[in-house]
Amino acid sequence: MKRIVLFASGSGTNVENVVQYFSENNQVEIVAVLTNKKEAQVLDRCARLKISAIYFNRHAFMESNLISDFLNNLNLDLIVLAGFLWRIPKSLIDHFPDRIINIHPALLPKYGGKGMYGMKVHEAVKENSEPETGITVHYVNEHYDEGAIILQVKTFVDAADTPEIIAQKVHKLEYEHFPQVIEKLLFKG
The H or E element containing residue 163 is: helix 163-186
Number of helices (H), then strands (E), in the chain: 7, 7
Measured over the CA atoms of residue 106, residue 53, residue 141 and residue 60, the dihedral's sign is positive
Is 95 among the residues known to form the active site? no
In contact, 11 and 33? CB cutoff 8 Å: no
Torsion region of 118: left, alpha or beta (phi above 0 gives left; psi -120 to 50 gives alpha): left
* Long-range contacts from 53-62, C-beta under 8 angstroms, 24+ separation: 58/86, 61/36, 61/86, 61/89, 62/86, 62/89
Torsion region of 168: left, alpha or beta (phi above 0 gives left; psi -120 to 50 gives alpha): alpha
Catalytic residue chosen out of the listed positions 104, 138, 143, 177: 104
Q: Which DSSP letter does residue 147 get?
A: S
Report which residue type is found at 102: N
The residues carrying an active-site annotation are 104
